[in-house]
Amino acid sequence: MKNKEKNFISSVVYVRNDEDQIKSFLERLNDLLKNNFEKYEIILVNDGSTDQSVREIKEFSKKIEGASISIINMSFYQGKELAINAGLDMAIGDFVYEFDNVNMDYNSDLIMDIYKKSLEGYDIVIASPNKKRKLTSKIFYKLFNKYSDYPYKIDTETFRILSRRSINRMNSMNKSIPYRKAIQASSGLKITTISYNVIKKYNKKADKYLRKEREKNALDALILFTDVSYKGVILLTSLMLTVTVFMSIYTIVIFLLRRAIAGWTTTMLFLSFSFFGIFLIFAIIIKYLSILINLIFRKMSYLIESVEKLN
């Protein structure tokens, strides 16, 4: 018989209206885990699905034996980050897989490749697809990686594996996880990425809630984890300083040529320096707030409706 891995493996799977693909995904995932690990669990986080995803999961669970399968039903749609947090808090594995979706556009052997790479000393190993990104994604990743100080540069991800040490480290940082890529990149642990070629494309209809969440998370990540806002205000302040100097010189020249209307010189000087002062104050405030965010980060919570142990 094949020697199976002794480490306990948890798989946290995000589910949101995936009735067409969830059963196929679970079949492939369960077969791989069953053939390679002595003990494992699959935790599916149902984030307010409005289709028959839960029914498909329950039907699948009736056909298998020896596997621990659980469903976490979120009270309502709360977004991928909080949903995966809920699954992560329930997971007990030595290593934990995080699947952002059930679109298995890769060979299932990649799941084991990711695990084996983690045994080489990496606390976080990421699977990233080699595919053309949208323009908005390119802009976001370029800005994030340029204006953050993290040695690891983030990119598009499909799933990842975390060691128990990395999970403990993230929890000890006493931060909520509004954007898990940034938290993992800032953990100070060893991270690596395995790129793969997409073998099958899925044309799932875009979920408006997921799309809005991605847009919100992207904006929040740039504000919370990079210097984009601070650098932007500094740039505007510098431009305003240039305008102020120019207007001051222009105002003085007009005054010396005696072409100014009474009160015009003082008014223009006052407005020029006032606008410069306002932008400077904004820069100081934003820098101050960024420091506060790093020192005190509000702990976000999630709401669970129920937990169902199927096996």
Residue 2 resides in a domain: no
Q: What is the pLDDT of residues 15-67, one digit of tens each?
A: 999 999 999 999 999 999 999 999 999 999 999 999 999 999 999 998 887 78
> Do 180 and 65 belong to one domain?
yes
Residue 232 resides in a domain: yes
- CA–CA dist 113, 120 (Å, integer): 11
- CA–CA dist 17, 8 (Å, integer): 29
Question: What pLDDT, on a 0 to 100 scale, did the predictor assign at position 72?
Answer: 96
> Do 23 and 107 belong to one domain?
yes
Residue 220 resides in a domain: no
> Do 21 and 37 belong to one domain?
yes
Residue 185 resides in a domain: yes
- Output the pTM of the full model: 0.77
Question: What pLDDT, on a 0 to 100 scale, did the predictor assign at position 176?
Answer: 56
> Do 260 and 145 belong to one domain?
no
> Do 152 and 234 belong to one domain?
no
Residue 183 resides in a domain: yes
Q: What is the pLDDT of residues 253-285, one digit of tens each?
A: 777 776 656 666 667 666 766 776 777 777 667
> Do 153 and 99 belong to one domain?
yes
- CATH code assigned at 145: 3.90.550.10
Question: What pLDDT, on a 0 to 100 scale, did the predictor assign at position 299?
Answer: 47
pLDDT in tens, the chain (311 residues): 568 999 999 999 999 999 999 999 999 999 999 999 999 999 999 999 999 999 999 999 988 877 899 999 999 998 888 899 999 999 999 999 999 999 999 999 999 999 999 999 999 999 999 987 888 888 888 988 888 878 888 888 999 999 999 998 888 775 555 678 888 887 888 999 999 999 877 666 667 777 777 777 777 777 777 777 767 777 777 777 777 777 777 777 777 776 656 666 667 666 766 776 777 777 667 666 665 665 555 445 566 666 777 76
Residues of the domain holding 190: 9-208+299-309
Helix, strand, coil share (%) of the chain residues, nearest 5: 50, 15, 35
> Do 204 and 60 belong to one domain?
yes
Question: What pLDDT, on a 0 to 100 scale, did the predictor assign at position 92?
Answer: 94
Q: How many CA atoms lie within 13 A of 282 on its CB side?
A: 17
Q: Which tokens sit at 261?
A: 């209307």
> Do 34 and 46 belong to one domain?
yes
> Do 87 and 236 belong to one domain?
no
Residue 270 resides in a domain: yes
Q: How many CA atoms lie within 13 A of 142 on its CB side?
A: 7
Nearest alpha carbon to residue 228 among 140, 297, 302: 140
- Cα dist. 27→15, 56, 65, 105, 249 in Å? 15, 12, 12, 15, 74
Q: How far is CA 122 from the centre of its chain?
A: 19
Return the ∠ at Cα 143 (arms to 137 and 144), rounded to 5°. 85
Residue 216 resides in a domain: no
- CA–CA dist 61, 27 (Å, integer): 10
- CA–CA dist 44, 59 (Å, integer): 14
> Do 289 and 303 belong to one domain?
no
Question: What pLDDT, on a 0 to 100 scale, did the predictor assign at position 209?
Answer: 72
In the chain, what's the furthest Cα-to-Cα distance? 100
> Do 195 and 267 belong to one domain?
no
Question: What pLDDT, on a 0 to 100 scale, did the predictor assign at position 9?
Answer: 96
> Do 259 and 175 belong to one domain?
no
Residue 72 resides in a domain: yes
Angle between helices 228-256 and 135-147 (to 10 degrees): 80
| 3-class SS of residue 121 | coil
Domain count of the chain?
2
Question: What pLDDT, on a 0 to 100 scale, did the predictor assign at position 308?
Answer: 76
Question: What pLDDT, on a 0 to 100 scale, did the predictor assign at position 231?
Answer: 78
Question: What pLDDT, on a 0 to 100 scale, did the predictor assign at position 287?
Answer: 65
